[in-house]
Amino acid sequence: MSYRDYVPVIGTVVNISRGNDCCSQMMTLRTDDGIVNFAVNPQTQVIDSRQLRPGMRVAAFYDSSLPVPLIFPPQYRAQVITTVGRNEQVMLSDFDRNLLAADGSLQLNIAGNTVIRTANGQSFNCNPAGQTLLVYYTATTRSIPPQTTPSRIIVFC
């Protein structure tokens, strides 16, 4: 599965309601740019299997290569959802053997206290280089590319 076309929307959950059937939900996020709706279905991967609740700050990723209805507010099908802490940022990207993001926008420096797990919560005891990674971090350097020591990494094997 390619995550190359996944686009994040970061915001606070305002409302969660029943979707088209009993196994799906509609989640409304308040973002800096306004309201965005997400369809959450059984195929949506919710990191850490967290129960989503109003007031949570989350990053919802949608596949920009899929068609979307031309309505307002925008409505996307969530592919991956993760909670985001205060002052925390997330990035989902392919990282090369030097842990540089595919678009060159972030360089990772892994520390001994960086938690590295697979998408299903298992320990990842290999080098995460050359994988698709969901990276959680707070600060970056002002260098080009910016560098960070992530607090947590989720590896999409």
- Whether 1 shows a pLDDT value over 70: the answer reads no
> pLDDT tens digits, residue range 24-44?
999 999 999 999 999 999 999
Percentage, residues of the chain above pLDDT 70: 99
Single out the residue of 134, 117, 34 nearest to residue 75, CA to CA: 34
Q: What is the mean pLDDT of the chain?
A: 95
Please compute the mean of the pLDDT values over residues 37-63 and round it to a whole number.
96
Model's pTM, two decimal places? 0.93
Contact residues for 12 (Cβ-Cβ < 8 A; gap 6+): 29, 30, 55, 56, 57, 58
> pLDDT tens digits, residue range 95-122?
999 999 999 999 999 999 999 999 999 9
pLDDT band, residue 60 (cuts 50/70/90)? very high
Other CB atoms within a 10 A radius of the CB of residue 117 amount to 16
- Whether 145 shows a pLDDT value over 90: the answer reads yes
